[in-house]
Amino acid sequence: MAEDTRKASGHGGAPAADEGAQAPMHGGAHAVAAARRHGVSAMFTLSGGHVFPLYDGAVKADPPMRLVDVRHEQTAVFAAEATARLTRAPGLAVLTAGPGVTNGVSAITTAHFNGSPVVVLGGRAPDYRWGAGSLQEIDHPRLLAAVTKRAWTEHQATNVGPAVDEAFRLACSPHRGPVFLDVALEALFGDAGSAPGGAGPATPGGTSAATSKPAAAEAPTATGGRPEAARDVGEIAGLIAAASRPVLVLGSDVWLGGADKAARAAAEELRLPVVANGQGRGVLPAGHELLVTRARAAAFREADLVVVAGTPLDFRLGYGEFGGADGAPPARVVHVTDAAGQIATHRQLAASAAGDLASFFTALAGAMPAALRNAGPRGPALPWEKAWVPRLRDAARDAAAADRALLTSGAYPIHPLRIYGELGALLDDDAVVIGDGGDFVSYAGKYLEPRRPGGWLDPGPYGCLGTGLGYAIAARIARPAAQVVLLLGDGAAGFSLMDADTLVRHRLPVVMICGNNGIWGLEKHPMRLLYGYDVAADLQPGCRYDEVVRALGGAGEIVTAPDGIAPALRRAFDSGVPYLVNVLTDPAIAYPRSTTGV
């Protein structure tokens, strides 16, 4: 590696630290400048010689780009992904060649499933030795093609800036997703000219490119450009006007695509009951009169029309099969997505629309008066307002009331819901809550209703354990003043807890709560149901994950009695350091699941 680097840089050694900004810039500097032009302010990475110029570019940029070095590459990519999902500007992860890249694959796939705009830059063995077996020589793009919008290699130093620019442009255009670019060693280390290339010249020492508008905000709106879009909206407005029991489902792309305000305005104007999904949670805040997520079973069973916006019709939504309660016909289904390729093909749709979601909701609200007139005289109020909305609101209220006993349970061992009863009371409106685990996190999804959009992060439909520490690192950086709470199953904790070290080194205080039932609960209980026994589903009972965090320089404590939860959480919030509250919970409790996702 060292010899390859010397050859590639042409300096007889790695670029010297004292080379000034006037010196010819290597590909890494151009890459950093291009990333910054797209609104990137942090690089998540784990060291490797193949990517040194990207670090050098970050350190010598004006102002320097924040470098967050982690303990596993999956954490770097998860952190980049969470940055994108929280800030709606793209995230950047830098992975060294070979194992650095392959360690990031599950996290890149998670970004792919979540439609998160992430650019992963990889190091790559040098071209001039390709085939001779240099260290970590592997053709990454072939591995990553299936889980990225595009994966390719840049071979020319002078083209690194434009290639990185293209990677960000692609990642940020709907439907968003991860893009992978690796750069041959000699192109990354080599002279790429003195002014960074790409979409425009950098202005060293002048106006910082960091202040330029993120490309995500400039993405063209597909609806505006499609002549058939107005017809789609009119058709959908007509379907709503003709419905008796409509339901609106809001998913992650409503938030990611910046359509949260327009969606809320449309829901309120049309008085549509709303079920929130993924990062659509919080678009209508907890307690909103139209938010009926807690009554989703009744809503989906009894609806005659379901409009699903910004999320796929996947297992989380029963594959888009709604209605049919008590012999009623199945509900009509409308699918609205941010790009045509996202429209479901596995089920018959009454209508669909693809394009900018904010434009869609604004147009829908505008089209409704005419649609209602065309639907004939249906009374002064929207017809579903009288009985349907109150029916679902009551069902949601009853469901919440039924939980109260468990949220305040004094049971020993601790019922996991008691943790949420205590935590809910301590959360601020702008808290970011992150879930990484099985049953423990399913409970959280049901019982912690965000009060703002962008306040909830779960792994999404790929369901990958191990997102926790990466998401928490990013959340603390993206929201420096907000509470950041990471909910960890004890099983999930094993995938990323070492990155509590990253929290400590980078002074990122996060409250971690481990729901420690001593088992892989979401697997143990179903296996017992299926086979009458279980294997490979036990963990150490009472394992001291809090002491792991203490050993890494943070703090923590164990909680075994229900009354100990609230004081421990308060200590954690007050501590100002990474703090793990290790709550021993009852392994006999299984989340009442209606689907296994298969």
Ligand X SMILES: Cc1ncc(C[n+]2csc(CCOP(=O)(O)OP(=O)(O)O)c2C)c(N)n1
In the bound complex, what is the minimum distance in angstroms from residue 490's beta carbon to ligand X? Answer: 4
Nearest to ligand X of 371, 543 (CB atom):
543
DSSP reduced 3-state for 311? coil
Distance CA 191, CA 563 (A): 63
Give the phi and the psi of residue 191 in degrees, each rounded to 5: -70, 120
Q: Could you tell me which of 142, 162, 155 has the C-alpha nearest to residue 188?
A: 155
Distance CA 448, CA 587 (A): 21
Distance CA 502, CA 506 (A): 6
Distance CA 87, CA 41 (A): 11
**Is the link from the previous residue into 63 a cis peptide, with omega within 30 of 0?**
yes
Q: What is the DSSP letter of 131?
A: T
Interface pick for ligand X out of 91, 437, 468, 470 (rule CB under 6 A): 437
**How would you list the strands of the sheet with 432-436, edge to edge?**
456-457, 432-436, 484-489, 511-516, 579-584, 555-559
439 contact, one of Mg ion, ligand X, none, CB 5-8 Å limit per kind: ligand X
Distance CA 299, CA 442 (A): 20
413 contact, one of ligand X, Mg ion, none, CB 5-8 Å limit per kind: none
Nearest to ligand X of 523, 547 (CB atom):
523
Helix axes 468-478, 73-87, angle to 10 degrees: 40
Stretch that binds ligand X, among 267-275, 328-336, 383-391, 518-526 (CB under 6 A): 518-526
Kindly state whether residue 454 participates in binding ligand X, applying the rule CB under 6 A.
Answer: no
Nearest to ligand X of 296, 524 (CB atom):
524
Distance CA 130, CA 12 (A): 21
Kindly state whether residue 463 participates in binding ligand X, applying the rule CB under 6 A.
Answer: yes
Interface pick for ligand X out of 104, 174, 445, 521 (rule CB under 6 A): 521
Nearest to ligand X of 126, 468 (CB atom):
468
Kindly state whether residue 445 participates in binding ligand X, applying the rule CB under 6 A.
Answer: no
In the bound complex, what is the minimum distance in angstroms from residue 186's beta carbon to ligand X? Answer: 36
126 contact, one of ligand X, Mg ion, none, CB 5-8 Å limit per kind: none
Kindly state whether residue 490 participates in binding ligand X, applying the rule CB under 6 A.
Answer: yes
Nearest to ligand X of 453, 489 (CB atom):
489
Q: What is the CA radius of gyration of the chain?
A: 25
Q: Binders of Mg ion: how many residues, by CB under 5 A?
A: 5
Stretch that binds ligand X, among 21-29, 221-229, 419-427, 435-443 (CB under 6 A): 435-443
Nearest to Mg ion of 357, 584 (CB atom):
584
Q: Could you tell me which of 14, 76, 4, 66 has the C-alpha nearest to residue 36?
A: 66
Kindly state whether residue 492 participates in binding ligand X, applying the rule CB under 6 A.
Answer: yes
Q: Could you tell me which of 456, 455, 323, 399 has the C-alpha nearest to residue 592?
A: 399
Give the C-alpha distances (Å, rounded to integers) separating 507 from 478, 500, 553, 554: 14, 10, 10, 10
Kindly state whether residue 465 participates in binding ligand X, applying the rule CB under 6 A.
Answer: yes
Kindly state whether residue 439 participates in binding ligand X, applying the rule CB under 6 A.
Answer: yes
Nearest to ligand X of 219, 522 (CB atom):
522
Nearest to ligand X of 188, 465 (CB atom):
465
Cβ-Cβ contacts under 8 Å for 100 (sequence gap 6 or more) = 46, 48, 50, 51, 73, 122, 123, 136
Q: Binders of ligand X: how many residues, by CB under 6 A?
A: 19
**How would you list the strands of the sheet with 178-184, edge to edge?**
66-69, 42-45, 91-95, 118-124, 178-184, 150-154
Nearest to ligand X of 450, 489 (CB atom):
489
197 contact, one of Mg ion, ligand X, none, CB 5-8 Å limit per kind: none
Kindly state whether residue 91 participates in binding ligand X, applying the rule CB under 6 A.
Answer: no
Residues 507-546 touching Mg ion, rule: CB under 5 A, are 517, 521
Distance CA 88, CA 81 (A): 10
**Tokens matching residue 1:** 């590696």
Kindly state whether residue 464 participates in binding ligand X, applying the rule CB under 6 A.
Answer: yes
492 contact, one of Mg ion, ligand X, none, CB 5-8 Å limit per kind: ligand X
Kindly state whether residue 438 participates in binding ligand X, applying the rule CB under 6 A.
Answer: yes
Cβ-Cβ contacts under 8 Å for 283 (sequence gap 6 or more) = 250, 254, 255, 260, 263, 264, 274, 276, 453
Q: Strand 305-309 relative to strand 332-337: parallel, antiparallel, unpaired?
A: parallel
DSSP reduced 3-state for 433? strand
Interface pick for ligand X out of 523, 534, 547, 586 (rule CB under 6 A): 523
- Report which residue's Cβ sits closest to ligand X: 489
Kindly state whether residue 466 participates in binding Mg ion, applying the rule CB under 5 A.
Answer: no
Nearest to ligand X of 147, 336 (CB atom):
147
Residue 94 belongs to what H/E stretch?
strand 91-95
Distance CA 2, CA 14 (A): 8
Kindly state whether residue 520 participates in binding ligand X, applying the rule CB under 6 A.
Answer: yes
465 contact, one of ligand X, Mg ion, none, CB 5-8 Å limit per kind: ligand X
**Tokens matching residue 390:** 């109150």
**Tokens matching residue 59:** 């350190």
Distance CA 519, CA 537 (A): 6
Distance CA 450, CA 284 (A): 9
Stretch that binds ligand X, among 225-233, 389-397, 514-522, 573-581 (CB under 6 A): 514-522
Kindly state whether residue 513 participates in binding ligand X, applying the rule CB under 6 A.
Answer: no
Nearest to ligand X of 263, 488 (CB atom):
488
Nearest to ligand X of 173, 496 (CB atom):
496
Kindly state whether residue 491 participates in binding Mg ion, applying the rule CB under 5 A.
Answer: yes
Kindly state whether residue 489 participates in binding ligand X, applying the rule CB under 6 A.
Answer: yes
Nearest to Mg ion of 44, 520 (CB atom):
520
Interface pick for ligand X out of 239, 477, 519, 583 (rule CB under 6 A): 519
468 contact, one of ligand X, Mg ion, none, CB 5-8 Å limit per kind: none
Helices (H) and strands (E) in the chain, counts: 26, 17
In the bound complex, what is the minimum distance in angstroms from residue 406's beta carbon to ligand X? Answer: 15
324 contact, one of Mg ion, ligand X, none, CB 5-8 Å limit per kind: none
Interface pick for Mg ion out of 15, 489, 554, 556 (rule CB under 5 A): 489
Interface pick for Mg ion out of 490, 501, 546, 557 (rule CB under 5 A): 490
Kindly state whether residue 304 participates in binding ligand X, applying the rule CB under 6 A.
Answer: no
DSSP reduced 3-state for 152? strand
Interface ranges with ligand X (CB under 6 A): 437-440, 463-466, 489-492, 515, 517, 519-523
Interface ranges with Mg ion (CB under 5 A): 489-491, 517, 521
